Chain A
């Protein structure tokens, strides 16, 4: 709708363009002048401030600024022509910048006409007044309607349905707002494709949850047990599973299908044992001929194909008590660079059949093996002492007598000759195998002075009990084996100390599920890995939902022997390659679908207990009412219930199918906006208090990224939530669900997605392997989590004397010797010049690079935006791209420098680059450069000079901690409310936050401050 301005305006044609802007703003609605459409109605009279602006202020802006800062030109991305007497929020954010430019005499630039001192003052005073005036104006609040993000939807569905399966894989990812968050209501768009997906997911979910109570479930259960010659009736066929086949000996494992004990009736599932295939492998060749097979061992295999070449010892060994595994040393699995068959020491059960849905349970009976420390190539054999005991090869059967219990070094004495490779040695019931790395040395002198034609090689260090020790050894045909020498080690010797650290280490057991490919496996971990702490066999349980793992997607009766084979991987996890006692696996059991009860909880969760079970309509209404109340996170209204009940009625009238009719009604619940959206309903433009249920959801989606639990809803129902805020926040932060918040918030605040996508140059940064990257990606999250859990002062985010690391991360920073925590993240003192805080974490610095070279601009812009909340303006539309190949031989750094000095770029870059330059000491792998630039000093935008990263950190953590706190609060507030903040809200944070300074801006205090502020509690 376009209205003609009144006649009096028409006599000032030059100003017409501006009217649209001013009038629109005075009516409170933003209008884009360039669209040429004024939506607002002109008012008859102008207010005093409008008159003043038009008469005195605007002409000055027009005269001095408009030429460069208008809709077409938009130098540095700035427009001045949009200014009005009552600027909209977006423009308020820019005004302090304008003021500073004028104050400092930077704008207009020297070559342009300059305003007089009086004119400059007029403008700066006007800006001050306008900002002050803006503070007193109340902003309208109109509630909010925002869709659940994909993770929120996933968590909500899981919690509501008690369904473990993740059905949300196919949903498109959420958009990211300008503040960097995926939960911003404005950025969360909705397309028909998405809504269609919500219908599909709801349909699938309900199919999985509800069962036919009268049918018996079918349960698959099998056990694979290991031990040398454990199988009295091994499969007589030579088993082959594709090219470069590696399977355990048929006699060394046995597969059975025992019937589990359950408190309900079920159908045991027997795996298929008869097959006919036309394609299969013989060695590396495909054959094509129909062939019949009949054995469970053509259905379930014990596969050990992995990358060969375990650096020390045998990757795996079957001994009488089971299968012993060394840690799985990962391979990068890139063709031509490394083996694609997966890690070294890669055991998995390969099998044809697993259930199609439901939860499963893998139980591994395992123990920490009472192991010896294999010695490295070239480690010296012990000089025989009087306390040494020797066992001659010819009389090994007699064993030896160990006089005192203790730590012994075992050396192998051989007649010099050609190395015979593998030595297997049994000491009592303990078994060792490894390459005997003989030196070339010939005869040498031994303690008693006689010359023996033997050479001695250090092999293993073990703890031995006193008494008789049975011995067995095999080295080639044993012709060169002379004797085995046992020498007790002094408790304080280096080697004994090394051994004591070694024997304290706990292997970590990991279970995986995936698919076999000819070129390796796709294995995904089943839950978290577990420490195996005892030398006695114990059951370790791993659970998952089968649908969350890759499905083979092949048809039944595929004609290829290798088609659709799944794998259950069982590993001792590797960290940084340190020596680790082996993991003993006695058996692996699989059960699925796993039910404790029947019907399962997902079913009973919907089919609630009721006295009305025999009255279909009444029971249906009860079911739907209860479900909708939980789904909507507030009591369902009677109008809503009527609509839903009608869906049930209509369907039930058609075929009297109770379950199907319930499904239909619940499907409507799961696709309704009351479920999919977080709604804060507002009845007036004035700020109103959240209602208790709205508050419960707002809190839980903030601190858990998940729906409110029963307690929160109970407090809402009894209207006690508002006055229980302190204790609820406390409780919610302690709850494990809080990790979902921290992962989401920290990941987005610190832009960890950048690290996910950076293509690291593997040649330059060989330490930044796929597995190291996965752990380094966790480091910032674990760090923030630790700060919150311990309620530490915020300054630690910038500068801390510890890092939070596991062995992989610590090893990346060359701090491996300070950790013994396996894959667990723990605080580690670093005593380093350059570590501590998030700024110098490898995941951050490497993410802010191009994978090859460090990039001070990316790092500077990140710090400005995320850490000090002084975001640079967006680059202007005509910004030139830096070209890789522009015909010059400049380095990236030199190109960036040239770019920075270009006119039009300099202003923005003055607010970016100084923050990034100190980080030039770090390479694109996030570690100190080996050829460190001599000068990493920087003059910060406020004029402070810092000489290096440490000085920058100190400056931020001490002098500028208020600014850092403001940034943390601003990001927390944006995330908590799911929207961008208004100008007034940012001012509120800036001013009020200093109250937290006396207690050093502790992390939980920041969270509490946000929750208890109006920006969270009002709608």
Chain B
């Protein structure tokens, strides 16, 4: 069992990495962590849907979804940059969140990774847990940080106009980072003071757990003939917590993997050139995966409904209108420009996949050990059916790519459950899932 190696999620939330003292990884955390093939997950969201041009304009080749289905599919013009990765990607069609059809369509980014019934939220609660956080719960014991949450805009945006796609177990939004330098500092240049504070906090907690253990053992002795099974369960749980805390303390001592950071431009910001910005963010994700800093990443590439800086990107790229306005375009020129923005995004995704392919794991490339989900919460503007979805990587987790798979009215949550099962996360369901996707790209679910 690996239970003794599990980490306390709160303990490592803030940057601990880079404090280079003492023990190498293998010695500190044991063989299982150091040598097992990692399983990772990365979700990337693009807002306002993709271009699916009106047939009357005669520009079908600019449709984001490939024209034909199955293994014989042909890339459209806006996804052409992905051609080199044909055997590592699949297009998935016909997906939707049933709750998406009931809620205001502007909420689609809030619920993309959660599937929550936002039209009828539980009192006191807004959203429910996002897929990446379920992954993080199960992978956090193997790496330094449970998850990395990125977005084009820092923070959380606000309810119903979210700036993050990640929600914790309680359904609360997890604030996203958007600045490459801050992300880099947090991941690769752990701050000494916070490490000390973290360690003090951990040590205090360990002492208190010890005191509870002591008090419980005394009680247990007094219990006479009583049914002790429940007490044993409690003591075991305390032991477990103590060993998790101890493991968290150990991560502080382990040096980071040596990596080449020379290609990074940490001065790139979301206010500058979009291509430069995205590429640096993707580089950081790839580096974080390679160094096993985290195994769960989300990146919101742009925001719904004209929010935030990304709305201006098509203007910067010479496409004439803002992102939200382009998505509403009915005219041929506008729909063409919208498709060209898709093309721009495809280029960035291709860049990312290429980075993941270059990094090698114990077995296969980082891409082979990472399931990458890329998509939107609307097909065309405000249409919550047939969500544009691309799945890449994860070959070592049984994903069989190179296809355009399509099944109308398929639940997004079933796709998410399939991803979890492929990662060997044996949860019975996710949100409103009805089961895993059969006869699809997932061969090991």
Q: Which residues of A contact B (CB under 8 A)?
A: 142-147, 169-170, 185, 188-192, 194-196, 199, 279, 285-286, 288, 333-337, 340, 515-520, 522, 524, 548-555, 558, 560, 562-565, 639-640, 643-644, 646-647, 650, 664, 667-668, 671-674, 676-677, 679-685, 770
Measured CB to CB, the nearest residue on chain B to A143 is B226
Report, nearest first, the 10 A-B pairs whose CB atoms are least far apart. Answer: A519-B104, A517-B160, A143-B226, A563-B158, A286-B306, A192-B240, A195-B237, A683-B224, A524-B123, A145-B230
Q: Are A196 and B241 in contact (CB under 8 A)?
A: yes
User: Given known contacts A518-B106, A558-B158, is B230 in contact with A286 (CB within 8 Å)?
Assistant: no
20 A-B pairs (CB sep. < 8 Å)? A170-B170, A190-B230, A192-B237, A192-B240, A194-B237, A285-B306, A286-B306, A286-B324, A335-B103, A340-B103, A518-B305, A522-B126, A563-B161, A647-B208, A647-B211, A668-B208, A673-B231, A679-B219, A681-B223, A684-B225
Measured CA separation A334–B59 after assembly (Å): 35
Task: Pick the residue among B106, B155, B159, B312 that contacts A288 (CB under 8 A).
Answer: B312
User: From residue 189 to 244 of chain B, which have CB atoms closer than 8 A to chain A?
Assistant: 204-205, 207-209, 211-212, 214-216, 218-219, 222-231, 233-234, 236-238, 240-241, 244
Q: Are A681 and B160 in contact (CB under 8 A)?
A: no
Q: Smallest Cβ distance from A223 to chain B, in angstroms?
A: 26
Q: A142-B227, A169-B170, A640-B219 are in contact. List 12 more A-B contacts (CB 8 A).
A: A145-B230, A195-B234, A285-B306, A335-B102, A336-B101, A340-B119, A515-B126, A517-B107, A552-B158, A560-B161, A664-B204, A684-B224
Q: Are B226 and A639 in contact (CB under 8 A)?
A: no
Any chain A CB within 8 A of the CB of B255? no
Most buried by A among B105, B107, B119: B119
Q: Are A671 and B225 in contact (CB under 8 A)?
A: no
Measured CA separation A770–B156 after assembly (Å): 30
What residues on B are CB-neighbors of A334 within 8 Å?
102-103, 119-120
Task: Pick the residue among A170, A519, A679 that contacts B106 (CB under 8 A).
Answer: A519
Task: Pick the residue among B120, B157, B205 that contacts A770 (CB under 8 A).
Answer: B120
Q: Are A335 and B104 in contact (CB under 8 A)?
A: yes
User: Given known contacts A195-B241, A672-B215, A673-B216, is B104 in contact with A555 (CB within 8 Å)?
Assistant: no
User: Given known contacts A145-B231, A190-B234, A195-B237, is B173 in contact with A553 (CB within 8 Å)?
Assistant: yes
Q: Smallest Cβ distance from B115 to chain A, in angstroms?
A: 15
Measured CA separation A550–B126 after assembly (Å): 7
Measured CA separation A333–B104 after assembly (Å): 9
What residues on B are CB-neighbors of A681 within 8 Å?
222-224, 226
What residues on A are CB-neighbors of B236 within 8 Å?
192
Q: Are B218 and A147 in contact (CB under 8 A)?
A: no
Q: Smallest Cβ distance from A765 to chain B, in angstroms?
A: 16
Task: Pick the residue among B123, B160, B169, B240 that contacts A518 (CB under 8 A).
Answer: B160
Q: Are A667 and B106 in contact (CB under 8 A)?
A: no
Measured CB to CB, the nearest residue on chain A to B239 is A192
Q: Are A643 and B218 in contact (CB under 8 A)?
A: yes
Q: Are B227 and A192 in contact (CB under 8 A)?
A: no
Task: Pick the residue among B120, B208, B225, B244 that contacts A192 (CB under 8 A).
Answer: B244
Q: Are B307 and A279 in contact (CB under 8 A)?
A: yes
Q: Are A562 and B214 in contact (CB under 8 A)?
A: no
User: From residue 92 to 120 of chain B, which have CB atoms closer than 8 A to chain A?
Assistant: 101-107, 119-120
Measured CA separation A390–B238 after assembly (Å): 84
Task: Pick the residue among B172, B224, B238 that contacts A195 (CB under 8 A).
Answer: B238
User: From residue 106 to 143 of chain B, which have CB atoms closer than 8 A to chain A?
Assistant: 106-107, 119-121, 123-126
Task: Pick the residue among A191, A518, A565 that contacts B104 (CB under 8 A).
Answer: A518
Q: Smallest Cβ distance from B282 to chain A, in angstroms?
A: 25
User: Given known contacts A145-B226, A145-B230, A555-B155, is B103 in contact with A519 (CB within 8 Å)?
Assistant: yes
Measured CA separation A340–B120 after assembly (Å): 10
Number of interface residues of B (CB under 8 A): 65
What residues on A are CB-neighbors of B216 within 8 Å?
672-673
Q: Smallest Cβ distance from A501 to chain B, in angstroms?
A: 34
Q: Smallest Cβ distance from A627 to chain B, in angstroms?
A: 14
Task: Pick the residue among B156, B208, B227, B240 that contacts A143 (CB under 8 A).
Answer: B227
Measured CA separation A639–B217 after assembly (Å): 12
Measured CA separation A446–B211 after assembly (Å): 93
What residues on A are CB-neighbors of B238 within 8 Å?
195
Q: Smallest Cβ distance from B26 to chain A, in angstroms?
A: 25
Q: Are A668 and B126 in contact (CB under 8 A)?
A: no
Task: Pick the residue among B119, B126, B244, B324 that contacts A335 (CB under 8 A).
Answer: B119
Measured CB to CB, the nearest residue on chain A to B305 is A286
Measured CA separation A651–B250 after assembly (Å): 23
Measured CB to CB, the nearest residue on chain A to B235 is A673
Measured CA separation A676–B204 after assembly (Å): 22
What residues on A are CB-neighbors of B215 within 8 Å?
640, 643-644, 668, 672-674
User: From residue 150 to 170 of chain B, which have CB atoms closer than 8 A to chain A?
Assistant: 154-161, 169-170
What residues on A are CB-neighbors of B207 within 8 Å?
647, 650
Measured CA separation A664–B205 after assembly (Å): 9
What residues on B are CB-neighbors of A555 within 8 Å?
154-156, 175
Measured CB to CB, the nearest residue on chain B to A190 is B233
Any chain A CB within 8 A of the CB of B81? no
Any chain A CB within 8 A of the CB of B435? no
What residues on B are CB-neighbors of A199 within 8 Å?
205, 208-209, 241
What residues on B are CB-neighbors of A549 within 8 Å?
124
What residues on A are CB-neighbors of B307 within 8 Å?
279, 286, 560
Measured CB to CB, the nearest residue on chain B to A686 is B225
User: From residue 173 to 190 of chain B, which have CB atoms closer than 8 A to chain A?
Assistant: 173, 175
What residues on A are CB-neighbors of B249 within 8 Å?
none
Measured CB to CB, the nearest residue on chain B to A281 is B306
Measured CA separation A560–B121 after assembly (Å): 23
Measured CA separation A337–B226 after assembly (Å): 58
Q: Are B121 and A518 in contact (CB under 8 A)?
A: no
Any chain A CB within 8 A of the CB of B308? yes
User: From residue 312 to 349 of chain B, which have CB atoms closer than 8 A to chain A?
Assistant: 312, 324
What residues on A are CB-neighbors of B244 within 8 Å?
192
Measured CA separation A699–B233 after assembly (Å): 26
Any chain A CB within 8 A of the CB of B361? no
Measured CA separation A552–B172 after assembly (Å): 9
Measured CA separation A668–B212 after assembly (Å): 6
What residues on B are CB-neighbors of A682 within 8 Å?
224-226
Q: Are A340 and B125 in contact (CB under 8 A)?
A: no
Q: Are B219 and A553 in contact (CB under 8 A)?
A: no
Any chain A CB within 8 A of the CB of B311? yes
Measured CA separation A673–B207 after assembly (Å): 17
Q: Smallest Cβ distance from A766 to chain B, in angstroms?
A: 16
What residues on A are CB-neighbors of B161 within 8 Å?
518, 560, 562-563
Measured CA separation A199–B238 after assembly (Å): 10
Measured CA separation A548–B157 after assembly (Å): 22
What residues on A are CB-neighbors of B126 within 8 Å?
515, 522, 550
Measured CA separation A923–B322 after assembly (Å): 52
User: Given known contacts A564-B158, A667-B208, is B124 in contact with A680 (CB within 8 Å)?
Assistant: no
Measured CA separation A723–B209 after assembly (Å): 41
Q: Are B225 and A683 in contact (CB under 8 A)?
A: yes
Q: Are A677 and B230 in contact (CB under 8 A)?
A: yes
Task: Pick the residue among A190, A285, A550, A554 that contacts B125 (CB under 8 A).
Answer: A550
Q: Smallest Cβ distance from A595 to chain B, in angstroms?
A: 24
What residues on A are CB-neighbors of B205 within 8 Å?
199
Q: Smallest Cβ distance from B117 to chain A, in angstroms?
A: 10
Q: Are B170 and A333 in contact (CB under 8 A)?
A: no
User: Given known contacts A552-B158, A560-B158, A644-B215, is B225 in contact with A685 (CB within 8 Å)?
Assistant: yes
Measured CA separation A568–B158 after assembly (Å): 18
Q: Smallest Cβ distance from A972 to chain B, in angstroms?
A: 22
User: Given known contacts A199-B205, A279-B307, is B222 in contact with A189 (CB within 8 Å)?
Assistant: no
Q: Are B227 and A144 in contact (CB under 8 A)?
A: yes
Interface string of B393-433 (1 = CB under 8 A from A): 00000000000000000000000000000000000000000
Q: Are A286 and B208 in contact (CB under 8 A)?
A: no
Measured CA separation A340–B103 after assembly (Å): 8
What residues on B are CB-neighbors of A192 within 8 Å?
236-237, 240-241, 244
Q: Are A560 and B157 in contact (CB under 8 A)?
A: yes
User: From residue 1 to 50 of chain B, which have CB atoms closer than 8 A to chain A?
Assistant: 8
